[in-house]
Amino acid sequence: MAYDVKVASAEGNSAGDLETTLDEAGLKNRYVREYVRHWAEHTGASRVEVIGAADDARLIRESLAAGEILPAGEGRYYARSYAKDTARSEERTIVATASPADKGVYNNWHPSATMRPLVEKLMRGASAGKTMYVIPYLMAPAGSPLEPYAAGVELTDHRTVALHMIRMARVGVEHVNNLDDPDTFVRGVHVTGDLENLGQGTPEDKRYFVTLADERTILHFGSSYGGNALLGKIAHGLRQAAYDGWASGEFLAEQFMLIGITDKQTGRTWHICGGFPSASGKTNLAMMLAPNSLGDRYHVSFYGDDIAWLRVDPEDGKIYAINPENGVFGVAKDTNEVTNPTALGSVAAGTGVLFTNVAYNEVTQDVWWEGRTPQPPVDVTGWRDWTGKLISERSGDEVGKPWAHPNSRFTTTLANVPNIAADYESGQGVPIDAIIFGGRTRDREPLIRAMTDLAEAVYDGLTLGAEATFAAEGVDGQLRYDPMSMRPFMSYPEGAYAEHWLRIIGAAREEPIFAHVNWFQRDPDDGHFLWPGYRDNLRPLLWLLRLKDGQVRGRQTPVGIVPTAAELDLTECGVRPEDLAKLLSIDAARWRQEMAHREEHLAQFDGLPEAIWAAHRRVAAALDADGD
Ligand code: GTP
Ligand code: SPV
Ligand code: MN
């Protein structure tokens, strides 16, 4: 239903119209209504529309008619973002609170007393002439014990953002009408701003992406892309939720995928969650098909690919995880029938998928991205690159440039994912058997190394190293520490973060096994990936579960337990024997160098628990004692 009703504004429309709109939409929560009224006036929006998932078809029609999205085959759609607005901006992302004690190394903390007025000023009148979409949502499956932290309302002046939110979150007034405490919902305001005049990436940058964490308010100005604009996802689901989980002492919110692995022979299912930095393989792992040689026996099911909330159930003492999201915002690059057929299934005809910034053919309505096929389409008729430029008109340096933006993505709901778990909507969540951390590192880190000690695992997560990717602006390829792959999403100080981890996971009566995995080790000479990756990643995970069960023993090294080649099921795996040897070895000399960097890195964090330092010293001493 459209609510073509004016709100109170400078032009003098009556406030009564807004009340009618909210009444007709069935929005009953008076705190939400007040919040909508306040921001409609503040941003100067000329219309207000409350949306739910049922409005999707109409919004799609309107967006197509307005040319904001283009058809990409049956039930598939395509959009381009503004060319300087294609990824999260880490520099412009700020966590603000009233307490300077909330300042960490990575959370880019500022006082809320300065940030709030600054962003409010930028937002004043900035949605003039536009519709403000009111998007009530829940970042949890219904019935989750964590529901009190999951309700939110995003206000956005961008219709394509509303379409993304419908795919990524559970959307509708029912999620805020009957809250136990009607005033407890996350308030998220997204104002696009004049994208062509924001000075993106210059000293005059006007963009601000601010989470006022202690006020549970998110104010994002100056983008319509991804985590900058879909406020339920990263800003609420990670930054705000991590802060809430810490402040309440109840849960962890992590950039984690969440999967089930079922042994079809025994009927047993294990659940694994874990984090790799942005654009480092979470979606691919969650959508993984078992390798052909193992497919008769094992099945991988998808629960989540980017965010998990973890809590310990006081009844049975187990760790339970939920995926708060309702969709996938996946990296397109290198997605194809071999690497990830499941992803292709989840964006097939009729799924309602929205592609952003891939290449588009205006004649055939087809889409393409680097790695979709080994070579780009030979007949370039109708093909435009992600900026909208015809490929046939490229000249000079443009020839040979990627057709799709490296951070181009697809947005599709969980129900479209072919390997979605049967119980993915369980509010209780699933019990966790293993937690993995993954780096994106070209050397040193073996394929997998397991840890059984919680403090050592948290220590390992905090010293996770990664090459940055295109998911953030301007940092691609840089090697940097990315604690728990949360560096861009940290909302409270790292020392407290470590302590909170030790407390939450330490309260479990059944501790999970931990591991550090790395699919990205490369040959120093020719640069090829030593491990085939993708579907083959199931092999080291099965080893980890067998290790937990005591069926294999591995080889103890100073940095954890590494599989022997014989313990890995490598039937029909293409890995070269010499590469495998490297993947399973520990270069102690190289690791000893690393330890000095780690010490510097950890020393930045105030109040790091002594248990973490003790783990560091234990690993360092074991490396020193290792003769290599
Ligand atoms: P975010 O959504 O940004 O958090 O990313 P993500 O961690 O979900 O990453 P995703 O699975 O989308 O993968 C990112 C890129 O890494 C894609 O281009 C993948 O093709 C590539 N990739 C994923 N898994 C593997 C792997 O096992 N080996 C190699 N070599 N590349 C991989
Ligand atoms: C990431 O960058 O880790 C993402 C994409 O998941 S975004 O939603 O843009 O943050
Ligand atoms: Mn992510």
Q: Which pair of tokens denotes residue 252?
A: 């962890």
Q: How far apart are CA 9 and CA 45, in angstroms?
A: 8
Q: Whose CA is nearest to atom 3 of ligand 2?
A: 278
Terminal Cα-to-Cα distance of the chain (whole angstroms): 70
Are the C-beta atoms of 473 and 207 separated by less than 8 Å? no
Q: How far apart are CA 567 and CA 35, in angstroms?
A: 58
Question: Phi, psi (5° rounding) for residue 311?
Answer: -145, 160
Residue 277 CA, closest ligand 2 atom number: 3
Please, which pLDDT band fits residue 473 given cuts at 50, 70 and 90? confident
- pLDDT beyond 50 at 9: no
Q: How far apart are CA 367 and CA 73, in angstroms?
A: 9
pLDDT in tens, 313-336: 999 999 999 999 999 999 999 999
Distance from the CA of 31 to the center of ligand 3, in angstroms?
Answer: 31
pLDDT at 10: 38
pLDDT in tens, 199-221: 999 999 999 999 999 999 999 99
Q: How far apart are CA 231 and CA 220, in angstroms?
A: 8
- Ligand nearest to the CA of residue 305, numbered in listed order: 1
Q: Which pair of tokens denotes residue 73?
A: 């085959």
pLDDT in tens, 581-622: 999 999 999 999 899 999 999 999 999 999 999 999 999 999
Report which DSSP code applies to 390: B
Write out the DSSP string of 69-110. Answer: SEE-STTEEEE---TT--SB-STTEEEEES-GGG--SSS-EE
Please, which pLDDT band fits residue 477 given cuts at 50, 70 and 90? low
- pLDDT beyond 50 at 131: yes
The pLDDT of 175-197, averaged and rounded, is 98
Q: In a 3-state reduction of DSSP, which class is residue 472?
A: strand
Q: How far apart are CA 291 and CA 546, in angstroms?
A: 18
The pLDDT of 498-512, averaged and rounded, is 97
The pLDDT of 133-160, averaged and rounded, is 98
Residue 228 CA, closest ligand 2 atom number: 9
Q: Is the CB of 305 under 6 A from ligand 1?
A: yes
State the CB neighbour count (10 A cutoff) for residue 526: 6
- Ligand nearest to the CA of residue 235, numbered in listed order: 2
Residue 276 CA, closest ligand 1 atom number: 7
- Ligand nearest to the CA of residue 88, numbered in listed order: 2
- pLDDT beyond 80 at 469: no
Please, which pLDDT band fits residue 11 given cuts at 50, 70 and 90? very low
Q: Whose CA is nearest to atom 5 of ligand 1?
A: 279
Q: How far apart are CA 219 and CA 482, in angstroms?
A: 25
Q: How far apart are CA 514 and CA 542, in angstroms?
A: 13
Are the C-beta atoms of 135 and 319 separated by less than 8 Å? no
The residue type at 5? V
Distance from the CA of 308 to the center of ligand 2, in angstroms?
Answer: 14
Are the C-beta atoms of 232 and 152 separated by less than 8 Å? yes
Write out the DSSP string of 282-348. Answer: HHHHHTPPPPGGGTTTEEEEEEESS-EEEEE-TTT--EEEE---SEEEEE-TT-STTT-HHHHHHTS
- pLDDT beyond 60 at 80: yes
* Distance of alpha carbon 280 from the chain centroid: 11
- CA nearest neighbour of 144 among 109, 105, 170: 170
Q: For the chain, what percentages of helix, strand and coil (3-state, to nearest 5) are there?
A: 30, 25, 45
- pLDDT beyond 70 at 462: yes
- Give the burial string for 164-175 (b: 16+ CB within 10 Å, else e): bbbbbbbbbbeb
The pLDDT of 137-159, averaged and rounded, is 98
Largest pairwise CA distance in the chain: 80
Rg of the chain on CA atoms, in Å: 24
Q: How far apart are CA 495 and CA 605, in angstroms?
A: 6
- pLDDT beyond 50 at 3: no
pLDDT at 15: 54
Report which DSSP code applies to 567: G
Distance from the CA of 277 to the center of ligand 1, in angstroms?
Answer: 9
pLDDT at 36: 98
Residue partners of 61: CB distance under 8 A and separation at least 6:
none
Angle between helices 494-506 and 241-248 in degrees, nearest 10: 60
Q: Which long-range contacts (CB under 8 A, 24 or more apart) does 113-119 make?
A: 115/208, 115/210, 115/212, 116/210, 116/212, 116/219, 118/208, 119/208, 119/210, 119/219, 119/221
- CA nearest neighbour of 328 among 362, 299, 305, 308: 305
- Of 78-87, 228-237, 438-447, the range with the lowest mean pLDDT is 438-447
Residue 533 CA, closest ligand 1 atom number: 27
- pLDDT beyond 90 at 8: no
Q: Whose CA is nearest to atom 8 of ligand 2?
A: 227
The pLDDT of 290-304, averaged and rounded, is 97
Q: Is the CB of 325 under 6 A from ligand 1?
A: no
Q: How far apart are CA 341 and CA 343, in angstroms?
A: 5
The residue type at 338? V
Q: Is the CB of 240 under 6 A from ligand 1?
A: no
Residue 335 CA, closest ligand 1 atom number: 20
Q: Which pair of tokens denotes residue 70?
A: 């283009």
pLDDT at 2: 38
pLDDT in tens, 395-453: 999 999 999 999 999 999 999 999 999 999 999 999 999 999 998 899 999 999 999 99
What percentage of the chain has pLDDT greater than the value 70?
A: 96
Q: Is the CB of 329 under 6 A from ligand 2?
A: yes
Q: Is the CB of 411 under 6 A from ligand 1?
A: no
- pLDDT beyond 70 at 1: no
Q: Which pair of tokens denotes residue 153?
A: 């309302």
Q: How far apart are CA 208 and CA 621, in angstroms?
A: 45
The pLDDT of 277-305, averaged and rounded, is 96
Q: How far apart are CA 522 and CA 525, in angstroms?
A: 9
- pLDDT beyond 70 at 7: no
- pLDDT beyond 50 at 235: yes
State the CB neighbour count (10 A cutoff) for residue 27: 19
pLDDT at 472: 81
Please, which pLDDT band fits residue 628 given cuts at 50, 70 and 90? low
Residue partners of 570: CB distance under 8 A and separation at least 6:
539, 580
Distance from the CA of 147 to the center of ligand 2, in angstroms?
Answer: 23
Q: Is the CB of 306 under 6 A from ligand 1?
A: yes
The pLDDT of 524-535, averaged and rounded, is 96
Please, which pLDDT band fits residue 192 given cuts at 50, 70 and 90? very high
Are the C-beta atoms of 414 and 424 separated by less than 8 Å? yes
pLDDT, greater one: 593 or 496: 496
Report which DSSP code applies to 420: B
pLDDT at 439: 85
- Ligand nearest to the CA of residue 254, numbered in listed order: 3
Mutate to test the pocket of ligand 2, among 90, 154, 278, 285 (most ligand atoms within 8 A of CB): 278
- CA nearest neighbour of 446 among 389, 516, 396, 497: 516
Q: In a 3-state reduction of DSSP, which class is residue 49?
A: strand
State the CB neighbour count (10 A cutoff) for residue 179: 16
Q: Is the CB of 145 under 6 A from ligand 2?
A: no
pLDDT, greater one: 628 or 135: 135
- Burial class for 78, CB neighbours closer than 10 Å (0-12, 13-18, 19+): buried
pLDDT at 471: 81
